[in-house]
């Protein structure tokens, strides 16, 4: 019989191993996302440390890892360009308070009601902006202020290369391409025994070695001797900007986008394991505390991030100890080995971000929306993406949300969703009646999440007249998660008016 001490030792061993993997994934991304945000790389490291140690200890999603997110890099870049680096402090103080209040007021379920078309369109637009911006960093140049400007300037960067001279731009591009090829090659051909070694780490190491051994004169990362020297407490002038309406509006946008990305990431993490489910309101409160502390430290905003979180789950993490330890490892590394970070070429980090940005542009998702739910969700995705790239992040998201309301028009007179339950110790039935739209998603989510895992559950949809793609995705994920865990789950009454739900379940 296994003793309690042996069980705890096994759990800690798995968490310890997973924390090393997450640390290796997080290090290059923390620095790279900071660079893409237009701030020094140490600002991203501070956010990673806070996200690991503080948010990891308080999170409502124990296996989710928090830190700098590519999804916020573009909006932070715009803030720094327009309002200056000092504006980040008051913006994150306000955003953190807003997130904490949202958690206290139990608004976590409403963030999940955002249309998947909007969220993935936003992420795809951000991916485009990261790719076209970091393309210029591959040449040791600086990104331009807007996505369209970066896009228009790309041909000039390529035409500016000289076939007879190997100077700074040519050397930087070579290092960036080596990084990208090493990263993709490792992910494609790595042996099964080394599957947990992240491609981003291999790419950065390869690019750094090429630059170091070749004595290349490329721009390198500049980090201070002490990570504590990078902490910049907001001064009186900075705090006075809290009452600036533009600062408040930007903070609300940061809070909204960070919360949506965090809770969608948490939902994705829940699908990867059968352990403790996410407490969305607790997660919001933890994220608010984290962003408030980032505002005090003068760092960049954080969210729950799916790349690091999925690495955590795949590496076998079992408790929140893994996320906490990964923050400890980042702190120890930057405190003891800052000289090593200063050998990393900027173009190597740009190479990592180009791959990261490209992966955010998920054409698979829009094909899934179009095939299962028709043209409207795909249109929402496309409009959000186009406006994020051509105007700004907030405009794109607002336009996507406005289009989501159009889906309600045919059902505007009957939007009510009835949820009734009955059953005994052996079996429970949940019956839905009316229209399931994103407006009723919190109610539907609460009912589904409360179902017992130790008995058969039947979802009766005979009286359900309509279900939009947001609720259909939720139901489909719920069914798949229960079946993967071995819980008996049956869906009945899926009529022709629920085509998207048939595909999802």
The span from the CA of 350 to the CA of 337, in Å, is 22
Q: In this model, does residue 162 exceed pLDDT 60?
A: yes
Q: In this model, does residue 291 exceed pLDDT 90?
A: yes
Give the per-residue pLDDT at 502: 62
Q: In this model, does residue 184 exceed pLDDT 90?
A: yes
Residues 6+ apart with CB under 8 A from 440: 415, 416, 417, 471
Scored b (16 or more CB within 10 A) or e, 258-288 reads bbbbbbbbbbbbbebbeeebbbbbebbbbbb
The span from the CA of 140 to the CA of 134, in Å, is 10
By the 10 Å C-beta count (0-12 exposed, 13-18 middle, 19+ buried), 148 is classed as middle
Give the per-residue pLDDT at 500: 61
**Mean of pLDDT values over 192-213:** 91
What is the domain partition of the chain in residue ranges? 11-348, 417-504
Pairing verdict, β 65-68 and 302-305: antiparallel
Q: Report how far apart, in Å, the C-alpha atoms of 186 and of each of 195, 200, 204, 279 are.
A: 9, 9, 12, 36
Please provide the DSSP assignment of 123-159 as one string: HHHHHHHHHHHHHHHTTT-PPPSSHHHHHHHHHHHHH
The residues pairing with 305 across neighbouring beta strands, listed in sequence order, are 65
Number of Cβ within 10 Å of residue 222's Cβ equals: 11
**Helix (H) or strand (E) run with residue 475 in it:** helix 469-484
Q: In this model, does residue 1 exceed pLDDT 60?
A: no
**Mean of pLDDT values over 462-470:** 88
**Mean of pLDDT values over 105-121:** 85
**Mean of pLDDT values over 195-213:** 92
Give the per-residue pLDDT at 292: 97
Give the per-residue pLDDT at 505: 62
Q: Read off the tokens for 491.
A: 């869906």
Quick check: pTM over 0.85?
Answer: no
Give the per-residue pLDDT at 496: 67
The span from the CA of 89 to the CA of 45, in Å, is 16
Give the per-residue pLDDT at 90: 96
Fold observed for domain 417-504:
Transcription Regulator spoIIAA (3.30.750)
The span from the CA of 485 to the CA of 101, in Å, is 34
Q: What is the pLDDT of residues 46-71, one digit of tens each?
A: 999 999 999 999 999 999 999 998 87
Q: What is the pLDDT of residues 296-320, one digit of tens each?
A: 999 999 999 888 898 888 888 899 9
Q: In this model, does residue 2 exceed pLDDT 70?
A: no
Q: Read off the tokens for 499.
A: 């085509």
**Mean of pLDDT values over 343-360:** 92
Give the per-residue pLDDT at 439: 87
Q: What is the pLDDT of residues 38-50, one digit of tens each?
A: 999 999 999 999 9
Specify the range with the lowest mean pLDDT, choosing from 213-227, 373-387, 477-491.
Answer: 477-491
Pairing verdict, β 456-467 and 489-492: parallel
Q: Report how far apart, in Å, the C-alpha atoms of 392 and of each of 66, 98, 134, 137, 395 are.
A: 25, 22, 17, 21, 6
Which residue in the block uniquely carries the two structure tokens 């051909």? Answer: 189
By the 10 Å C-beta count (0-12 exposed, 13-18 middle, 19+ buried), 153 is classed as middle
Q: In this model, does residue 501 exceed pLDDT 80?
A: no
Q: How confident is the model at residue 214 (pLDDT cuts 50, 70, 90)?
A: very high
The span from the CA of 89 to the CA of 237, in Å, is 11
In degrees, rounded to 5, the angle at the alpha carbon of residue 70 between the alpha carbons of residues 379 and 375 is 10
The span from the CA of 123 to the CA of 72, in Å, is 9
Specify the range with the lowest mean pLDDT, choosing from 175-184, 201-210, 296-305, 359-368.
Answer: 359-368
Q: Mean of the per-residue pLDDT values for the chain?
A: 89
Q: Choose from 150-159, 282-291, 381-390 the range with maximum mean pLDDT.
A: 282-291
Give the per-residue pLDDT at 301: 97
Give the per-residue pLDDT at 175: 96
If one compares 168 and 125, the residue with the highest pLDDT of the two is: 125
Give the per-residue pLDDT at 10: 80
Handedness of CA 322, 185, 37, 382 (dihedral sign): negative
Pairing verdict, β 417-423 and 65-68: unpaired
Cβ pair 88, 297 in contact under 8 A: no
Dihedral angle of Cα 356, 358, 363, 368, to the nearest 10 degrees: 0
Q: What is the pLDDT of residues 233-264, one digit of tens each?
A: 888 888 889 999 999 999 999 998 899 889 87
């Amino acid at each position: 019989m296994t003793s309690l001490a042996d069980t705890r030792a096994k759990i800690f061993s798995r968490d310890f191993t997973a924390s090393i993997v997450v640390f290796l994934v997080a290090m290059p991304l923390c620095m790279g996302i900071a660079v893409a945000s237009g701030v020094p790389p140490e600002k991203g490291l501070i956010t990673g440390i806070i996200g690991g140690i503080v948010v990891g200890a308080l999170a409502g999603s124990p296996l989710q890892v928090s830190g700098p997110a590519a999804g916020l890099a573009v909006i932070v870049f715009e803030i720094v360009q327009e309002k200056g680096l000092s504006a980040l402090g008051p913006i994150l103080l306000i955003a953190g308070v807003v997130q904490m209040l949202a958690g206290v007021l139990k608004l976590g379920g409403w963030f999940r009601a955002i249309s998947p078309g909007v969220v993935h369109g936003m992420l795809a637009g951000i991916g485009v902006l990261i790719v076209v911006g970091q393309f210029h960093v591959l040449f040791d140049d600086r990104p331009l202020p807007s996505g369209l400007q970066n896009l228009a300037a790309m041909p000039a960067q390529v035409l500016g290369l000289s076939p007879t001279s190997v100077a700074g731009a040519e050397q930087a591009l070579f290092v960036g391409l080596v990084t990208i090829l090493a990263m993709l090659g490792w992910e494609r051909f790595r042996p099964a025994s080394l599957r947990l070694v992240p491609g981003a780490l291999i790419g950065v190491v390869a690019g750094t070695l090429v630059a170091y051994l070749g004595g290349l004169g490329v721009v390198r990362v500049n980090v201070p001797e002490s990570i504590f020297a990078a902490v910049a407490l907001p001064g009186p002038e900075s705090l006075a900007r809290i009452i600036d309406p533009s600062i408040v509006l930007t903070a609300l946008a940061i809070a909204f986008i960070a919360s949506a990305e965090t809770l969608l990431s948490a939902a994705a993490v829940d699908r990867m394991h059968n352990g403790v489910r996410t407490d969305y309101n607790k997660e919001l409160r933890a994220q608010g505390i984290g962003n408030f502390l980032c505002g005090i430290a003068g760092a960049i905003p954080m969210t729950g991030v799916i790349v690091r979180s999925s690495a955590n789950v795949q590496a076998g993490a079992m408790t929140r100890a893994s996320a906490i330890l990964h923050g400890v490892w980042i702190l120890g590394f930057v405190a003891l080995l800052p000289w090593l970070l200063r050998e990393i070429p900027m173009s190597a980090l740009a190479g990592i971000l180009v791959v990261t940005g490209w992966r955010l542009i998920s054409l698979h998702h829009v094909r899934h929306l179009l095939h299962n739910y028709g043209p409207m969700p795909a249109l929402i995705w496309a409009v959000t993406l186009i406006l994020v790239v051509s105007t700004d992040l907030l405009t794109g998201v607002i336009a996507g949300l406005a289009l989501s309301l159009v889906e309600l028009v045919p059902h505007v007179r009957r939007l009510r969703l009835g949820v009734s339950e009955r059953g005994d110790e052996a079996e429970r039935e949940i019956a839905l009646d009316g229209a399931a739209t994103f407006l009723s998603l919190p109610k539907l989510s609460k009912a589904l999440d409360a179902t017992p895992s130790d008995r058969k559950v039947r979802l009766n949809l005979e009286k359900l007249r309509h279900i939009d793609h947001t609720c259909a995705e939720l139901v489909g994920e719920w069914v798949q998660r229960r079946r993967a865990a071995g819980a008996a789950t049956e869906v009945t009454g899926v009529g022709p008016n629920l085509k998207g739900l048939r595909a999802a379940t």
